[in-house]
Amino acid sequence: MRYITQLAGLLALSATLILMACTPDDPAAFSENLRLRHKGADMPVWVRGNMTGNKILLFLHGGPGECAICLREFFADVEKEMAVAYWDQRISGAASGNADPATLNYPQFAEDLGMVIKLLKTRYPDAGIYLLGHSFGVEMAWQFLTTGNNQHEIEAFVAMDGVYATYDWLLQVREWVMREAAAQGDAEALTFMQNHPITPENMRTVSWGDWYSRMFRLGANPVWPTDDKDHVFYLWFKTPGSKFSQLANIGHYDHYYAEEIFTFDRSQLLKNVTIPVALFWGKKDGIIPIEMAYRTQERLERAVPLVVFDNSWHSPMHTEQAKFSQALLDFVQEN
């Protein structure tokens, strides 16, 4: 009961609403800025798009430490049909405040997500909330959905190129590197991985630099949005945050990558998720190989559709935007 009282006070006092002008004859022109202040973090939530259908897609960006609003251009077609809420997580993107880096842990991320959902429901009580997680955003979503009765706060969830457990992910990355190294004749990468087996006991010894250098050398994700000079211009001059602030955020995640990431494992809890779920995956992704999609399907009790993007790596919303938008809107319409 005390928690509910504190939450009501938080929403009343800490959610700053800045209303933006909407074009009356354009249903896709809804624009409103929200702000959630919680445990030292001052987190913006930009709501954009078409609100006539009372459906909001809450986008959970990756990283951790990246941003949501900086990827808005890839949701242009989605915004024509429904509203999209772009939330920059604590110590990410355009978020500010004085959040302690010690709060960069999975329970806190899930708690923040719950607060954002409650904020959206308070502001838009008639709207249904749908989650889209990308990369790290999927981890946050699984943490939230497998905690208590949280899953009943949303209508459905789309998991795009993300994991449910760090150990299982490392196993699949290692297999991917060895498979690609053998196919591409990279004897050094193959030998390196063969000499570094992964167990639950030794996974904390992973050297991220050694792993990722070989992953990218083998084509784990050769196409990034930042390869596009127009997108880079958008990042620097048309997004609320700055690239300088995003780069500064990275230093706060040292403990996360040294310890916290290795605590993540929701593999035994996925069976309790009963809401509609869809999996979107880049077939060529080497950062989070598609084998993780198959293993996610196996752990969920209800049948889960898998949309495979044959010409994509880690970010299908960028490399196959039209297909991504249509598949997403179809899934929301069905649920």
**In this model, does residue 75 exceed pLDDT 90?**
yes
Mean per-residue pLDDT over the chain, rounded: 89
pLDDT per position as a tens digit, 217-271: 999 999 877 667 666 666 655 566 555 556 667 778 999 999 999 999 999 999 9
Tell me, what CATH number does 35's domain have? 3.40.50.1820
pLDDT per position as a tens digit, 126-150: 999 999 999 999 999 999 999 999 9
Percentage, residues of the chain above pLDDT 70: 86
pLDDT number for residue 243? 53
pLDDT number for residue 122? 97
pLDDT number for residue 18? 39
Report if residue 184 sits inside a domain: no
Report if residue 200 sits inside a domain: no
Under DSSP, is residue 83 helix (H, G, I), strand (E, B) or coil?
A: strand
Report if residue 272 sits inside a domain: yes
Report if residue 214 sits inside a domain: no
Q: Higher-confidence residue: 9 or 102? A: 102
Arithmetic mean of pLDDT, 7-26: 42
Percentage, residues of the chain above pLDDT 90: 79
Cis peptide leading into residue 64 (ω within 30°): yes
Report if residue 185 sits inside a domain: no
Number of separate domains in the chain:
1
**In this model, does residue 7 exceed pLDDT 80?**
no
Q: How confident is the model at residue 28 (pLDDT cuts 50, 70, 90)?
A: confident
pLDDT number for residue 60? 98
H helix runs in the chain, sequence order: 2-14, 76-79, 106-123, 136-145, 166-184, 187-194, 208-217, 229-237, 243-250, 254-258, 291-299, 316-319, 321-334
pLDDT number for residue 232? 64
Arithmetic mean of pLDDT, 304-317: 97
Tokens representing residue 100 in the block: 């302690």
pLDDT number for residue 259? 96
Range of the domain at 35: 2-165+223-334
CA distance 3 to 319: 43
pLDDT number for residue 93? 87
Burial class (CB in 10 A: 0-12, 13-18, 19+), 2: exposed
**In this model, does residue 72 exceed pLDDT 50?**
yes
Tokens representing residue 97 in the block: 């405040």
Contact 314/135 with Cβ under 8 angstroms? yes
Q: Is the pTM of this model over 0.75?
A: yes
CA distance 292 to 94: 31
**In this model, does residue 198 exceed pLDDT 70?**
yes
Report if residue 204 sits inside a domain: no
pLDDT number for residue 251? 78
**In this model, does residue 112 exceed pLDDT 50?**
yes
Report if residue 201 sits inside a domain: no
Report if residue 305 sits inside a domain: yes
Under DSSP, is residue 172 helix (H, G, I), strand (E, B) or coil?
A: helix
pLDDT number for residue 16? 42
CA atoms within 13 A on the CB side of 288: 31
Q: Which of 30-44, 175-189, 200-214, 234-248 has the lowest mean pLDDT?
A: 234-248
Arithmetic mean of pLDDT, 189-201: 97
